[in-house]
Amino acid sequence: MAAVSLENWKERIRDPKIECMSSDEMAHLQSERLVDVVNRAYHNVEFYHKKMKEQGVEPGDIKGIEDIHKLPFTTKEDLRDNYPFGLLAIPTKDVARVQGTSGTTGKLTIAPYSKKDVEVWGECVARCLTMAGLTSEDIIHVCYGYGLFTGGMGLDYGAQALGAVAIPMSAGNTKRQMMCMEDLGATAFACTPSYALHLAESMQEAGVVDRLKIKAGIHGAEPWTVEMRKKIESILHINCFDIYGLCEISGPGVAQDCIHHEGLHVHADYFYPEVLNPSTHEACGDGETGELVFTTLAKEAMPLIRYRTKDLTSMNRSKCKCGRTLPRISKFTGRTDDMKVIRGVNVFPTQVETALLSMGGAIAPHYMMIVDREDNMDVLTVMVEVDESMFSDEIRKLDALRDKIGAVLKQALGVSARVKLVEPKTIQRSEGKAVRVIDNRNL
Question: Rule CB under 8 A: which residues touch another protein?
Answer: 386-388, 391-396, 398-399, 402, 420-426
Q: How far is the CB of 385 from another protein (least distance, A)?
A: 9
Of the two residues 208 and 386, which places its CB atom closer to another protein in the complex? 386
Of the two residues 32 and 399, which places its CB atom closer to another protein in the complex? 399
Residue 282: which residues within 8 A CB-CB, separation 6 or more?
Answer: 276
Is 93 exposed, middle or buried (CB count within 10 Å of its CB: 0-12, 13-18, 19+)?
exposed
**What pairs with residue 111 in β-bridges?**
99
**What pairs with residue 248 in β-bridges?**
none
Q: How far is the CB of 381 from another protein (least distance, A)?
A: 11
Q: How far is the CB of 384 from another protein (least distance, A)?
A: 11
Rounded to whole angstroms, how far apart are CA atoms 162 and 165?
9
**Exposure string (b/e) for 285-304, b if CB count within 10 Å is 16 or more?**
eeeebbbbbbbbbebbbbbb
Q: How far is the CB of 396 from another protein (least distance, A)?
A: 7
Q: How far is the CB of 390 from another protein (least distance, A)?
A: 9
Of the two residues 211 and 420, which places its CB atom closer to another protein in the complex? 420
Of the two residues 37 and 368, which places its CB atom closer to another protein in the complex? 368
Rounded to whole angstroms, how far apart are CA atoms 409 and 359?
10
Of the two residues 424 and 432, which places its CB atom closer to another protein in the complex? 424
What's the full length of the chain, in residues?
A: 443
Of the two residues 4 and 421, which places its CB atom closer to another protein in the complex? 421
Q: How far is the CB of 439 from another protein (least distance, A)?
A: 22
Please give the C-alpha separations between residue 378 and each of 371, 374, 416, in angstroms, as whole numbers.
7, 6, 10
Of the two residues 46 and 423, which places its CB atom closer to another protein in the complex? 423
Of the two residues 1 and 386, which places its CB atom closer to another protein in the complex? 386
> Pairing relation of β-strands 216-220 and 239-246?
parallel
Query: Dihedral of the CA atoms 274, 275, 281, 282 (nearest 10)?
Result: -90
Q: How far is the CB of 397 from another protein (least distance, A)?
A: 9
Q: How far is the CB of 358 from another protein (least distance, A)?
A: 23
Rounded to whole angstroms, how far apart are CA atoms 103 and 432?
9
In contact, 84 and 111? CB cutoff 8 Å: no
**What is the CB neighbour count within 10 angstroms for residue 331?**
19
Task: Give first-to-last CA distance, the chain, whole Å.
Answer: 52
Of the two residues 393 and 431, which places its CB atom closer to another protein in the complex? 393
Rounded to whole angstroms, how far apart are CA atoms 278 and 29?
27
Q: How far is the CB of 420 from another protein (least distance, A)?
A: 5
